[in-house]
Amino acid sequence: MEGIEEADPYGNYEWLASKRRKMEDVETIEATKSPHIGPKSVYKFKLVIKSASDKRIYRVFTLANKMKIVLISDPDSVKSAAALSIQAGSMSDPKEFPGMAHLCERMLFAGNSSVTNSDETCFETFLQKYDGEYTSYTQKDLAVHVFDVNPAAFHASLDRFARYFICPTFPRNSLEEEVDGIQAECDSRAANDEDRRALVAALLTKADHPFSRFDCGNKETLWNKPLKEGSVDTLSTLTIPTKLFLDGGNLLTVLCNS
């Protein structure tokens, strides 16, 4: 803006705009060989603006498959962590299956073709062994899966974490149990003011807009009604949100203490 020193970061929109323009300048280099992303994948790096008091080191880049990566190095962190943000939430649900994205979130870690659920290899059991924990949640426009763990076990944990998204199996014998879990979660929301406000907001939205959909789902929408109507099998319909994982635009954030 005219009349404002470019070096002044306070209230100077031109200064901020110039920084944003620099962030859009990307450097493209050949990626190292990886069994998952392939030898010809390309990283596109972006600059990061951070506070002068922030001693962490950041690397932000986009892979050739359009997945965005944020790497954070913090030697003072007592744990390492990773979070995957999937750009598909309840507004991506099929109309006939309210709560499908929520069910998909829960079913992802119910089984895996490469990582079995024995005491030795179950992801959450493995994390607990190394003072870690896992959680996930689904919102209107995204689903998030996150874990933290002792740094000594981080690489092994990250490999296990990734495999659930690379080779999801959605085991049929876990389906009703997960639907019952969603029903219990739905029942508990009735006593939560924030959840009730969200429900009112959805009810006030135009009926043909995805925001108006019943995002949590329950046993009626995900089990009883499909069985009664003889409609598409709930489990096979899980492939719809799964395909959205591969469309790009997802974000993986990794925090390491190195």
pLDDT band at 144 (very low <50, low <70, confident <90, very high): very high
Beta carbons within 8 Å of 99's beta carbon, 6+ residues apart: 90, 93, 182, 214, 215, 216, 217, 218, 221, 222
Determine the pLDDT at residue 62.
Answer: 84
| pLDDT at 161 exceeding the cut of 80 | yes
| pLDDT at 11 exceeding the cut of 70 | no
- Which one-letter amino acid corresponds to residue 190? A
Between 2-16, 108-122, 170-184, 192-206, the lowest mean confidence (pLDDT) is in 2-16
Q: Is 3.60.15.10 the CATH classification of the domain at 66-256?
A: no
pLDDT digits (tens, 9 = 90+) for 177-208: 899 999 999 999 888 898 889 889 998 999 88
Angle (nearest 5°) at CA 148 between 142 and 153: 130
Determine the pLDDT at residue 13.
Answer: 41
| pLDDT at 10 exceeding the cut of 60 | no
Enumerate the domain spans of the chain: 1-55, 66-256
User: Which tokens hold the place of 101?
Assistant: 């994205």
Determine the pLDDT at residue 14.
Answer: 46
pLDDT above 70: percentage of residues in the chain: 70
102 or 34: which leads in pLDDT: 102
Q: In angstroms, rounded to a whole number, what is the distance separating the alpha carbons of residues 20 and 45? A: 14
* Residues with catalytic function: 105
Task: List, in sequence order, every residue forming a beta bridge with 69; answer none if it has no partner.
Answer: 61, 252
Terminal C-alpha separation, the chain: 40
| pLDDT at 79 exceeding the cut of 90 | yes
Q: Are 189 and 195 in contact (CB under 8 A)?
A: yes
pLDDT above 90: percentage of residues in the chain: 30
* 3-state class (DSSP) for residue 44: strand
Determine the pLDDT at residue 72.
Answer: 94
| pLDDT at 20 exceeding the cut of 50 | no
Q: In angstroms, rounded to a whole number, what is the distance separating the alpha carbons of residues 43 and 62? A: 6
